Structure 1
Amino acid sequence: MQEDNISKGEIVIYTSADGKITLDAKLENDTIWLTQEQMATLFNVNRPAITKHINNIYKTDELDMLSTCSILEHMGTENKQSYYTKYYNLDMIVAVGYRVTSKIATQFRKWATNVLKDYLVKGYALNNRVVLEQQEKLRSLQQVVELLNRSITNQAETIGQAQDISKILHQFVKGLNLLDDFDHKKLDTIGITKKEAVYISQDEFLSVVDKMKGDFASEVFAQPKDESFNSSINQIYQTFDDNELYPSLEEKASMLLYFIVKNHSFLDGNKRIGASCFLYFLDKNGLLYDDFGQTIIDDATLFALTLLIAESEPSEMETIKKVTISILNRR
């Protein structure tokens, strides 16, 4: 059984073929929901009979309680207070109905199927329209930003002023493009800089880490826990059958950050160390700055990305890798 809140779901009206029964059914999570009391009204039996059939269905494992029963919120008709009541989905409604009166159960199932079909078709059409509208808004916004960029560059009082404003607009458009690519599953899987990486040893990275120690009060900051830090570094330079596992600089950088953060090689400071080594690798390989002389990843983005890695599941590694590569590619 699951707890849910259906107060925002739609209410659909069911009327029996003879017009004698009218019910306010709830439409939520792509199915129809009724209470035991409503089922008793629908099938013209006492509520205890409905309870008995439901219990028997669960006892025989015909249906699973977790997927067919939810404790849902509804509004009282008299005092307008919220109450929580057990609701049962269409599978259970039909299963009970066939035990009581198959004719009514069949009628209700046909009605519910048509309602759900209409709901799904309208929902798909609505979602598709929203997506198209958002794409058009994004294209329009990008065009406006590009126009502003040209206008400001041409009309600013000084070259420096124009360049400063242009940088802001440039970063804004990059962010929009990245969000759009994520929504449409078009994040980059490979980096764009295919050249030999500068090899950075464990000792060189540790010298960078040593310079950070004075900035943090923790006595265990950067204290090695095991040998995994060296493994994190060496993995990005690995080859298989004379081919590099991470052939581009962007891929190496993204995996370096990922490995250091996830391997927890130090007693404290793994995220800070990972971010610092990531920036150092980019700098040594000539990728840290863009054409405007700005770092290709700002502090806020690096902070968010590092936390994202730390909180991610191992199964999400490829997604994290794509996000990082896409950020680095859009410089």
Structure 2
Amino acid sequence: MNETTQEIAIFEGENGDIAVTLQQETVWLNQAQLAGLFAKNKRTISEHIRNLFKEGELEESAVVRNFRTTASDGKSYDTQHYNLDVIISVGYRVKSPQGVRFRQWATRQQRPATNNMTQTTALRVIHPAQGKGEQRGAA
């Protein structure tokens, strides 16, 4: 996808549906959507996001984008949206049943990647000479 292409997807949560913006192969949510996802008010979400940047966990310029949205008054406004890195980081900070479910989901999503990484690491340990110009016979 190029930078100007946007898609809208619907995330079905227990508290209702949340429309999310998909761009550059990542999910983008605004503060109101994050508040809905984690069943917290916008002020709490804003505080967590502010702390992410203040503590240096994430670099704001890399994880925040403005998207033009149409409000209920029919006017278009630029609204800050936060990518998946922010969503995950906020999800690990909020204290709510939805936050717990999100953390459980995020942990399950990481297991396949961790298993692949472990297998790749094991292959490098078993065959350390590969990639250094040395040939190894078939086992």
> TM range, normalised to the smaller chain?
0.5 to 0.7
| Paired residues for 1:108-119 under 5 Å | 109=106
Q: Could you tell me which residue of structure 1 aligns to residue 91 of structure 2?
A: 97
Q: 1:107 to 1:87 in 2, by over 3 A?
A: farther
Q: CA RMSD in A?
A: 2.6
- Which residue, 2, 9, 14 being the options, matches 2:11? 14
**What amino acid does structure 2 have at the position aligned with 1:13?**
I
Identity %: 33
Q: Could you tell me which residue of structure 2 aligns to residue 69 of structure 1?
A: 64
Q: Could you tell me which residue of structure 1 aligns to residue 43 of structure 2?
A: 48
Aligned residues: 105
Runs of 4 or more consecutive aligned structure 1 residues displaced over 2 Å after TM superposition: 75-78, 101-110
**Does the 8 Å contact 1:97/1:104 carry over to 2?**
no
Q: Secondary structure at the match of 2:56?
A: coil
Q: Deviations over 1:56-96 (max 9, x none)?
A: 110110001011111111233452x3210000001101101
| Paired residues for 1:118-137 under 5 Å | none
Distance 2:51 2:29 in 1: 18
Give unpaired runs (5+ residues) of structure 1. 114-331
| Paired residues for 1:294-313 under 5 Å | none
Q: Could you tell me which residue of structure 2 aligns to residue 83 of structure 1?
A: 77
**Does the 8 Å contact 1:11/1:25 carry over to 2?**
yes
Does residue 1:23 correspond to 2:18, yes or no? yes
**Does the 8 Å contact 1:69/1:86 carry over to 2?**
yes
Q: Could you tell me which residue of structure 2 aligns to residue 190 of structure 1?
A: none
Give unpaired runs (5+ residues) of structure 2. 111-139
Distance 1:58 1:82 in 2: 27
Q: Could you tell me which residue of structure 2 aligns to residue 58 of structure 1?
A: 53
Q: Secondary structure at the match of 1:100?
A: coil
**Does the 8 Å contact 2:15/2:36 carry over to 1?**
no
Q: Secondary structure at the match of 2:45?
A: helix
Q: Could you tell me which residue of structure 1 aligns to residue 103 of structure 2?
A: 106
Q: What's the CA shift for 1:99?
A: 0.6
Q: What's the CA shift for 1:53?
A: 0.6
Q: Deviations over 1:132-157 (max 9, x none)?
A: xxxxxxxxxxxxxxxxxxxxxxxxxx
Q: 1:12 to 1:108 in 2, by over 3 A?
A: farther
Q: Deviations over 1:88-131 (max 9, x none)?
A: 00110110111114423236648x99xxxxxxxxxxxxxxxxxx
TM value normalised by structure 2: 0.65
Q: Deviations over 1:208-254 (max 9, x none)?
A: xxxxxxxxxxxxxxxxxxxxxxxxxxxxxxxxxxxxxxxxxxxxxxx
Q: Secondary structure at the match of 1:99?
A: coil
Q: Could you tell me which residue of structure 1 aligns to residue 134 of structure 2?
A: none
Larger RCO, structure (CA 8 Å, separation 6 or more): 2
Q: Deviations over 1:243-293 (max 9, x none)?
A: xxxxxxxxxxxxxxxxxxxxxxxxxxxxxxxxxxxxxxxxxxxxxxxxxxx
Q: Could you tell me which residue of structure 2 aligns to residue 179 of structure 1?
A: none
TM value normalised by structure 1: 0.29
- Where is the helix percentage greater, Structure 1 or Structure 2? 1
**What amino acid does structure 2 have at the position aligned with 1:90?**
L
Q: Deviations over 1:19-64 (max 9, x none)?
A: 3321000000110000011111111111111111111110110001
Distance 2:63 2:104 in 1: 20
**Does the 8 Å contact 1:43/1:104 carry over to 2?**
no
Higher Rg? 1
